[in-house]
Amino acid sequence: MVFRKPPDGGWGWVIVVVSFFTQFLCYGSPLAVGVLYLEWLDAFGEGKGKTAWVGSLANGIGLLASPVCSICVSSFGARPVAIFSGFMVAGGLMMSSFAPNIYFLYVSYGIVVGLGCGLLYTATVTITCQYFDKRRGLALGLISTGSSVGLFIYAALQRELIELYGLDGCLLIVGALSLNILACGSLMRPLESSSSPPPEKMCVDKVPDQYFVYHEKEKTVEENISILEKGYIDEKCVNNVPDCKQETILSKSVLSSINTNEKDTYKKKVVEQTNFCKQLAKRKWQLYLTYWKETMVLFKNKVFSALFVAILLFDIGGFPPSLLMEDVARSANISEDDYYMPLISIIGIMTTVGKLILGILADFKWVNTLYLYVTTLLMTGVALFAIPFAKSYLTLAMLSGILGFLTGNWSIFPYVTTKTVGIEKLTHAYGILMFFAGLGNSLGPPIVGWFYDWTQEYDTAFYFSGFCVLLGGFLLLLAALPCWNACTNQSSKLPPNTYSYKVASNA
């Protein structure tokens, strides 16, 4: 498929609007799952660690399955994937309203909704990149705020719906709202040239000359013909035993009537197809080996290795507050009358602010994006250590705002990855990092919940979370320091595909 030049406007702005609302509708409930988490604790009576798996799967499974999501969008296009994913998200939410136990929610809410969100995220990002080139950063920044706005609104919306219609009614209504994704997805018109000819299918008649080695495979061809004849006769004998002898005689007469020229052509095509398949399998195997070789080269870069550890530890420690902050307030015996706004809503709106401000800072030439990212990690660790000392709504609200703002460092993470490995390796490296980010999202809340089940208080859990984030930040800082990264001066001795981060360079 041949795409036209990105228009950087026109219908592209419609794509931005519908992508914004798509992320708003699909990520609103999973990101604001902390409100539902309290209800599930009361409804099923399970431990906090076991119940936290529902929200962590919904937010982590899409990142873990990002390679599969990319293949689906590449194969079928953004619009069909978005429409199909809309059914997945809406159906998963509605199915969750009939959940008889927590294990049912693992599938309906955790896996079905999570996969739907992952597919929708990939579809919206892909179609937006196709429509924008010069303004791609602005377009991606606008659609990425959809999830944060969804977190802000859905936290209050789900709480109000639970009070009016109960947990089951809330999930049914939220699922019905998610059906609007179908309308948004239908507007994701693919950017392709209508006058471009369809791609030619691979044909055996167009196999290159280097595959014409039938003179060396004459024996193999004869064996193939014998196998084909035997298979044809055996199949007839099994299906119709009385006519077996008649079919055998008929097949022999037909084969004997083939002239020499036709048989040579048949032999040639069989050999061409056989050798083409062998060459294709060999090429795929070479691509597989090349992928793993390039992966090993990436991990030889000290900064990339530290970055993968940092993103894993950051999501293990930094994601749980967005899921568990409401339960933290309830555990601190804070009355609901003191609530001016749900804590999760504060996290959501401040995440939007953080994405915008940190993204703007990253565009300044005098700002080093790696040091900026490390700063956000260290500050997040300190804020997590402060949560056990917050005993009022005001202090928890302030910490929620700080954590939400710092979580906006997702907007500069692609900058850091690009500067670390280079633009040529960005797709490969970013896919690896997103996998580990999804792993951290999936493990973080259950680990914090298990700490609570073990100690019956959240203090130890958030000390552990803060330690994880601080450890990741210090490791990344250590890898980026000039004294530790002195090997960049010998970059000429490294393979040409290896990239080292020079901390002195501008972001």
Please say if the pLDDT value at position 379 is more than 90: yes
Looking at residue 226, its pLDDT comes to: 53
Tokens coding 87: 């059914």
Could you count the other beta carbons within 10 Å of the beta carbon of residue 264? Answer: 12
Higher pLDDT, 329 or 93: 93
**H helix intervals, 387-493:** 393-407, 413-421, 426-455, 459-480
Question: In this structure, which amino acid lies at residue 276?
Answer: F
Domain extents in the chain? 1-194, 301-487
| CA 271 – CA 91 distance, rounded (Å) | 50
How many residues comprise the chain? 507
Which among 66-75, 170-179, 440-449, 456-465 has the top mean pLDDT?
A: 170-179
Architecture of 301-487 per CATH? Answer: Up-down Bundle (1.20)
∠173-179-181 over CA atoms, to 5°? 130
45: left (phi over 0), alpha (psi -120 to 50) or beta: left
What's the mean pLDDT in 191-210? 48
Which is more confidently placed, 441 or 253?
441
Residue 169 reports pLDDT greater than 80: yes
Tokens of 394: 């005001």
Q: What is the Cβ-side half-sphere exposure of residue 45, based on CA atoms within 13 angstroms?
A: 1
Top pLDDT among 180 and 344 is at 180
Tell me what pLDDT residue 106 has.
93
Quote the tokens at residue 374: 């490390």
Cβ atoms of 403 and 347 within 8 Å: the answer is: yes
- Higher-confidence residue of 270 and 134: namely 134
- Rounded to the nearest angstrom, the gap between the alpha carbon of residue 313 and the centroid of all alpha carbons in its chain is 18
What is the average pLDDT value for the chain, to the nearest integer?
77
Q: How confident is the model at residue 326 (pLDDT cuts 50, 70, 90)?
A: confident
pLDDT, tens only, 286-320: 666 666 777 777 778 788 888 888 988 998 988 88
**CB neighbours (10 Å) of residue 219?**
8
Nearest to 296 by CA among 498, 161, 487: 498
Q: How high is the pLDDT of residue 408? A: 84
Determine the Cα–Cα distance for residues 38 and 41; give it in Å rounded to an integer: 5
Distance CA 70, CA 226 (A): 44
Q: Which residues contact 228 (CB under 8 A, 6 or more apart)?
A: none
d(CA 96, CA 178): 14
Model confidence band, residue 171 (pLDDT cutoffs 50, 70, 90): very high
- 366 by Cβ neighbours in 10 Å (0-12 / 13-18 / 19+) ranks as exposed
Whether the Cβ atoms of residue 445 and residue 328 lie closer than 8 Å to each other: no
| 485 phi/psi in degrees, rounded to 5 | -95, 30
H or E segment at 343?
A: helix 343-362
Q: What angle do CA 151, 156, 158 make, to 5 degrees?
A: 90
| Type of residue at 78 | A
Lowest mean pLDDT: which of 21-25, 248-252, 371-375?
248-252
pLDDT at residue 166, as a whole number: 92
Q: How far apart (Å, rounded) are the C-alpha atoms in residues 61 and 401?
A: 26
Q: Is pLDDT of 246 > 80?
A: no
d(CA 112, CA 90): 9
Find the distance separating the first CA and the last CA of the chain, reported in whole Å: 35
Please tell me the CATH code under which domain 1-194 is placed.
Answer: 1.20.1250.20
